[in-house]
Structure 1
């Protein structure tokens, strides 16, 4: 059974999922996994940039099919250590980010997503655990498709129960 690497926490009055993982690669290599369009296509989805306008869209890949594109706006970028961004779709918007810290023998990855009032962290936390494992597999040259969804959900749902102070 998989182990949870995160939890639901309160931050600046908002509930958010936070997942922390150690990866035996350089910060630059891990940064590329999360910011390079070719790398993203290998484990999560399709990033497109309109060269004329600079607008970015992102579409998740699920079973080889592309979901509807979401607008992606970068709100903070300090390569190769910090990235904050928002996505906006017909279903609403999310704020997400990552911090990459050098550590002995590799680096530490912290991923977070701010949750909306209707978001259930027990569903979303295991989903992000799954995608972080896919990202790590891709980064290490392993096959992300060998990461099994059933190992994460519903097994890790309770680890993401509401944060203290969350309604």
Structure 2
């Protein structure tokens, strides 16, 4: 079964927000642990090390990328178990991310938001986050890991079509 893209693009006063949502049959605390505890993030994104405090910087390994690089990531906000805001800067610019959790009726919804200054790379960024969030679901549920080749370039047209035509 091929994965289906779920991302939505919303205009903001400073650019756009790329929003992807996943739902878990678990408590917000359990999902929070999956996105904040190093041994659990290692299963779907990569491990991290350092003093994880708001305003602090941790080192995160992108374990499922070529050469598994490490990067510095700043913790902009941490409000367990509802909101985690992170940012990092690389050769592509600054990446500003938010993970927003809400629990209702025995399920937790995770809204992943990337605040974009430009839509230029959405055709690459969107499929990548779909893949990583499906990796999170697989790690959380104990199901087989997805294959990145099912996401990119197959999902690129979906994401580029989200860009409003002016």
TM-score range, shorter chain: 0.7 to 0.9
Unaligned runs of 5+ in 1: none
Deviations 1:73-110 (A, max 9, x none): 11111100111110123543210011011132311110
Partner of 1:59: 61
1:1-167, aligned counterparts within 5 Å? 1-49=2-50, 55-62=57-64, 65-67=67-69, 69-117=70-118, 119-143=120-144, 146-161=145-160, 162-164=162-164
CA 1:90–1:125 in structure 2 vs 1: closer, same or farther (change >3 Å)? closer
Task: Name the Cα RMSD after superposition.
Answer: 2.3
Higher strand share: 1
Aligned length: 161
Tell me the distance in 2 between the aligned counterparts of 1:81 and 1:118: 27
Tell me the distance in 1 between the aligned counterparts of 2:66 and 2:138: 18
TM, length-normalised to structure 2:
0.85
Alpha-carbon distance, 1:28 to partner: 0.8
User: Is the Cα–Cα contact under 8 Å of residues 119 and 163 in structure 2 kept in the other structure?
Assistant: no
